[in-house]
Amino acid sequence: MPTVRVQLVAGRTTEQKTACGVAVTEALMKTLGTSRDSIQVVFEEVAATDWFTAGVSIAESRKKAAAA
């Protein structure tokens, strides 16, 4: 039973996550030859203040980008 965990910064719409879940499911069916019913996709949303790249939070990076 393939399980895919997708970590992303909070803020995507339900429609976006649904489209992603469908696309991931289709890709696994095609590449692994597994059945739709056996595939699980789990979204884990993280606050922009809790996700850091190179020591800078995404929230801070967005602030800097907006100010530029």
Reference 48, options 64, 25, 67; nearest CA is 64
3-67 has which fold?
A: Macrophage Migration Inhibitory Factor (3.30.429)
Structure tokens at 32: 């692994």
Q: Where are the domains of the chain?
A: 3-67
Q: What is the pLDDT of residues 22-62, one digit of tens each?
A: 999 999 999 999 999 999 999 999 999 999 999 999 999 99
Mean pLDDT for 15-28 is 98
Q: Which of 1, 2, 36, 41 is catalytic?
A: 2
The reply to whether 38 belongs to the active site is no
**41: CB partners within 8 A, 6+ apart:** 3, 4, 6, 20, 21, 24, 25
Give me the pLDDT at residue 33, please: 96
State pTM to two decimals. Answer: 0.84
